[in-house]
Amino acid sequence: MIAFCPMVKKFCLYMLWAIFAIRLLAGDLNFERGFSGNPVVDGWYADPQIRIYNGKYWIFPTTSDLFEKQLYFDCFSSDDLVTWTKHKNIICSGDIKWLNRALWAPDSIEKGGKYYLFFSCNDAYPVDRKGGDFTPRNTSDEKYGGIGVAVADAPEGPYRDLIGKPLIDKFWNGAQPIDQCVFEYDGNYYMLYGGWRKCNLVRLSADFKSIVPFEDGSIFKDMTPEKYVEGSVMFERKGKWYFMWSEGNWGDSSYKVGYGMADTPFGPFKREGAILSQDKKVATGAGHHSVLNIPGTDDWYICYHRRPIPNYHRDHRMLCIDRMYFEPDGKIRPVKMTFKGVAARRLRPCK
């Protein structure tokens, strides 16, 4: 056995404490008793959808990896926003026959005791985007894809493909069929979606198996606001509707979140500004988010992905949660990204 002198032992102890302190300040050991820390879970994930089901918090994210490896979804559940349980492979390539690459941007919603998972699949491209031919490709082409929908009896699955094909595979208005957000309004369900700087709104059938016309007979409505790129989010607060989206380039530090407000989800939505963007002291590439409201309160959270500093890979993205606050006039305050995360919070039982 090697014997170390007291001076060497003391030096080693100091070094260990120094390394610990540096990592803590850098956010690598981003925990504090009673807080979630950011990131909230281990591993590389992105595009999180946060929901509340059965008295628990749930996060449905993209597995952040090369498109060819992005062939499944995991999800996470928590009683308190701090301790998260991972549910692996709630749906994967064997469950979606038309999936061959790039499964991402899940959006979950409960209806009639069933749990529906809408998703983007195959990084769909038309026949000739540059030339202006937006006809969908042949179904055998690896670039054929769009927005799909799966169903399960529980939030953690297992999910099965509901219709065995894309719900939307067309490029209406030049919008790539990706990054969907499903919401209810006045007894009907709608889906906001889009990429390539174009955004559409469509109306869903009651069984979520098809798109149905609006009352005026149209199939889609162009909702594209200023600086929109992708990552649509829609929610209501105090009689106002908020449309949020991601701006910039998802692969670099220009990525951010903007928003607009209107009296109905049909708009029009004027851009109010950006509320989430890089902080060179914390992280970069912050965007593609979702929001959470604690039932019975006006307490709001934003769940989003961001890139660590330094960042060594395009797909090194991590899931984070921070508080989201509003001004008296309803506008959203800029979000402060933290390493601390959010305080533990259990949901009150439903009466």
Cα–Cα distance measured from residue 161 to residue 151, given in angstroms and rounded to the nearest whole number: 7
Choose, from 156, 179, 230, 272, the residue flagged as catalytic. Answer: 230
Cα–Cα distance measured from residue 168 to residue 202, given in angstroms and rounded to the nearest whole number: 10
In the DSSP assignment, the letter for residue 24 is H
Could you tell me the two tokens for 133? 């031919």
Could you tell me the two tokens for 167? 């719900």
Classify 236 as helix, strand or coil: strand
The answer to whether the CB of 235 falls within 8 A of the CB of 280 is no
In the DSSP assignment, the letter for residue 132 is T
Alpha-carbon Rg for the chain, nearest whole angstrom, is 21
Q: How many CB atoms lie within 10 A of CB 142?
A: 14
Exposure string (b/e) for 93-120, b if CB count within 10 Å is 16 or more? Answer: eebbebbbbbbbbbbbbeeeeebbbbbb
Cα–Cα distance measured from residue 273 to residue 69, given in angstroms and rounded to the nearest whole number: 35
CA angle 67, 94, 125 (to 5 degrees): 40
Could you tell me the two tokens for 68? 């060819």
Which backbone phi and psi does 326 adopt, to 5 degrees?
A: -120, 150
169 given a catalytic annotation: no
β-strands 283-293, 270-276 pairing: unpaired
Cα–Cα distance measured from residue 328 to residue 332, given in angstroms and rounded to the nearest whole number: 9
In the DSSP assignment, the letter for residue 95 is G
The answer to whether the CB of 285 falls within 8 A of the CB of 253 is yes
Cα–Cα distance measured from residue 75 to residue 91, given in angstroms and rounded to the nearest whole number: 10
156 given a catalytic annotation: no
State which H helix or E strand residue 324 sits in. strand 318-324
Residues catalogued as catalytic: 47, 230
